[in-house]
Amino acid sequence: MKSLRIATRKSPLALWQAQYVADRLHAEGITTELVPLVSGGDTDMRPIDGSRQIGVFTKRIQQALLDDQADVAVHSLKDLPTEVDPRLMVGAVPQREAIDDALVSEETWTLDQLPEASRVGTGSRRRAAQLLNRRPDLQILPIRGNVQTRLAKLRDGDFDAIILAEAGIVRLQMHELRRVCLSRDVMLPAPGQGALGIEVRTDDDHAIDAVSQLDHVPSHAAVLAERRMLAALHGGCLAPIAALAEISGGQIALCGTVLSNDGRQRIDKQSSVAFDQPSWRSSAEALADQVSEGLLGEGAAELIQQQR
């Protein structure tokens, strides 16, 4: 069997994720090689906002698949646009890691303990809006770069605190980093946060069969529901939209939130349906449709449009 070429960004976290997938495939008897690439999002340090296209971290990796420079692409699923290219598919979602966001500061402040008008760094509208919803006094400032670059800016005093995904901290084994995980009633995660998406070409049966061995159905179902909800809202990766699906007690539940950029307006919706593992895909899709229709019925489309 031929070796699978795995396309990845060159950042430390992206390389860790790709090596994790490579190690999992190796355990299944499949040889691999990494194909490190530089994405547009790695070189352009301008704030990610409505003036820039979505997919800045993923398009180069996807193009490597389409150009047959690679057989597999590994993404942080929260960065992968929901628009479907019929030539590509998410062939597997390994078991999801830590889902929450962490408030990182030299003083290990909680959100309530942050001094008034503190400078908090984040490149995410979702995070910024939810912070302002709870603490409208905060100064939310843009920050770019990999985890190490952001931490250096915090240590240099550019910010009083920054927000990082707990999954990235854990994957990079930065266990001693001073941080406080934000509760989900304060900070609901991005759709797909904490999960990896393993993408392949739809006509590559060898790659499809290989990566399917890494698929964790409960994780795949949860992120499918979150991403389908996001797609129905036409929010892309830029609008302040949060979602979390979880499976428990034979049910799959989904919470969805849409906010204004300043955090003053917020629409929440949640629902659940029976989770049948053999038909997990239809269960997740039905749930996503329920929640997205509920959000749209309460004015989510108009709120999203106002933020563009």
Catalytic residue positions, numbered:
79
CA-to-CA dists, residue 292 to 240, 244, 286, angstroms: 14, 13, 10
Q: What distance in Å separates the CA atoms of residue 214 and residue 28, rounded to the nearest whole number?
A: 9
Helices (H) and strands (E) in the chain, counts: 10, 13
186 CB burial (10 A radius; 0-12, 13-18, 19+): middle
- Cα(148)–Cα(250) distance, integer angstroms: 40
Tokens 């990999």 identify what position? 146
CA–CA separation, 9 vs 15, rounded Å?
A: 7
Taking every pair of Cα atoms in the chain, the longest distance, rounded to a whole number of angstroms, is: 60
d(C-alpha 291, C-alpha 29), whole Å: 41
Residues contacting residue 204 through CB under 8 Å, at least 6 positions apart:
71
